[in-house]
Chains A and B, each alone.
Chain A
């Protein structure tokens, strides 16, 4: 098996699997991105592992696209024979909250899926253990979901103490220091910083309209 076999294999795979989109870049020749319908994931993983030696699942990452109602799962695979990195992107419905585990193909997936279940609340069927992993003291909603408001949670759970010593008052009187208390410092309530207006007659904006 040589390194030149990878690109033809990828081309042939596009014919075998419906709805598969491959994106490669000239800048990163050892990386390929594959977008795929979620039901074809196992087919692709089996082919990649069995035919091209993608034996190393280095991570599964998750993105919460709350406006589209989907979780994006990214499976990062590495092949020591091809020296190639495959990023397999799939989308899973957010409301359903369930997906199949790939533990039977890749053992490390057990940890990654347990982590995703804890942080995003996405349950993986067939995974060996979906118990708490890192957040053992946590009873709230999965904290990495976009609809979890960390600032509001902090505001409800914790108190602040007044910290305003004399030396700080002197600095504030001279026009320096932090004058915004934490409760008013929420990013969602903060005013936008003055800068160039990108919405109006900027050349890039015009190009988009035409």
Chain B
């Protein structure tokens, strides 16, 4: 009975996807035609969303500089599960044409689990649509579980983030607490990097409101 229910949930999830309207790099230029009347992604049930907390898909559309990656990480951790990450363009695969640059991160999947890559420099809207269909198929079959990987292997991802951002790196999201909430604590959830995080972590204060 629960399997039937899961299938129904997956079916529904695959047909109501909200893409977070957050774009990095140059691949974002291919998204307006995907959204608007020519390629019309809304016929697949995919539509743009303005806030990370209400979005399902994080599209990383091109190179992420180390500065941008910080913001991408903050955005990713704010999204509610289940969440899916699509890396568009060659830059998210291996740095693309910026492979020599000191300022850009090379592999996106070192810092967050990626469900699907759409390679190309840049991929055409047809490729983006076909990638979205591929993701829908994976969700329907229950294979798009990369967000669970983030909880199970949090230590690995946090270690890579600390490597770039320094040891003082912390986010407002309590990822280990969320992992316990979802029952997804694995062998890789805690480790030396999370221990370092607990040492340097200081409690977040509310922002001062000022006119």
Contact = CB atoms under 8 A, between A and B. Distances in A.
B102, B103, B105, B107: residue with the most chain A Cβ atoms closer than 10 Å? B102
B70 A154 contact: no
B101 A150 contact: yes
Contacts of A154: 95, 99-102, 106
B102 A137 contact: no
B166 A163 contact: no
A160 interface: yes
A161 B101 contact: no
Nearest to B160: A159
A182 B101 contact: no
Interface in A125-172: 135-140, 143, 148, 150-151, 153-154, 157-161, 163
Given A137-B165, A161-B94, A150 B100 contact: yes
A163 B66 CA distance: 22
Nearest to B67: A137
B102 to A, nearest CB: 5
A154 B102 CA distance: 6
A160 B102 contact: no
Nearest to B106: A158
B100 A139 contact: no
A161 B67 CA distance: 22
Nearest to A153: B102
Contacts of A150: 100-102
A161 B103 CA distance: 18
Interface string A105-120: 0000000000000000
A137 B100 CA distance: 18
Contacts of B57: none
B109 A161 contact: yes
A54 B164 CA distance: 44
B6 interface: no
Interface residues of B, number: 21
B65 to A, nearest CB: 9
A166 B99 CA distance: 23
A138 B104 CA distance: 11
A148 B95 CA distance: 20
Given A137-B165, A150-B102, A158 B107 contact: yes
Nearest to B163: A157
Contacts of B105: 158
Interface in A173-197: 182, 185, 187
B100 A160 contact: no
A157 B107 CA distance: 11
B93 interface: yes
B110 interface: yes
Contact of A136 (B67, B163, B164): B67
Contacts of A136: 67
Contact of A159 (B70, B110, B166): B110
Nearest to B166: A139
Contacts of A157: 102, 163-164
Contacts of A139: 166
Interface of B: 66-67, 70, 93-95, 99-103, 105-107, 109-110, 119, 163-166
25 contacts: A135-B103, A136-B67, A137-B66, A137-B164, A137-B165, A137-B166, A138-B66, A138-B103, A140-B102, A143-B102, A150-B101, A151-B100, A153-B102, A154-B101, A157-B163, A157-B164, A159-B107, A160-B95, A160-B106, A160-B107, A161-B107, A163-B93, A182-B94, A182-B99, A185-B99
Given A136-B67, A159-B107, 14 more contacts: A137-B66, A138-B103, A140-B102, A143-B103, A150-B100, A150-B101, A151-B100, A154-B102, A158-B95, A159-B110, A161-B93, A161-B94, A182-B94, A185-B99
